[in-house]
Amino acid sequence: MTERTWGWLAAVIDVVLIVLFALIGRSSHGETNSALALWTTAYPFLAGWAVGYVTSGAWARPLRFWPTGVVVWILTVFIGLAIRVATGQGDVDGNPLPISFVIVATIVLGVFLLGWRGIARLVLRGTRRRTVR
């Protein structure tokens, strides 16, 4: 696969995983998963992801952990949480940003956004070794 193909595929995988994060979160809290409700939960993180994807130049080096994966991950979380606070999402008993949510969002999105890149790199490394022999 070319880098250009990986760039588009990486974008699709990232977006699907961010939506999955929102879906899992909503489901774990017994909230409805209508398209609008899911969008409301996912869009802050998708906005953060878009900034991270452009900022890191992810389309040019989509499988790299640094800077691509880390920048995408950190900006997805940081901007996503900032938008949630600014829009009043997730307010629990007067606390606009429960620390438990910050921890869960950071860990899960890190595993999702860095994890698939790590797996892809291992698989590609293995296939390259087999084709060289």
The three-class DSSP label of residue 58 is coil
Domain hosting 108: range is: 3-132
130 pLDDT band, cuts 50/70/90, is low
What is the Cα–Cα distance from 13 to 107, expressed in whole angstroms? 17
For the stretch 48-99, pLDDT in tens is 999 999 999 998 999 999 999 999 999 999 999 999 999 998 777 778 889 9
Q: 7 pLDDT band (50/70/90 cuts)?
A: confident
0.85 surpassed by pTM: yes
More confident residue, 133 or 49: 49
List alpha helices for 31-89, DSSP H.
35-56, 70-86
In this predicted structure, what is the pLDDT of residue 1? 65
- Assigned token pair, 118: 């790590």
Give me the mean pLDDT over the 99-126 stretch: 94
Number of structural domains (the chain) is 1
Cα separation, 123 vs 128, in Å, equals 9
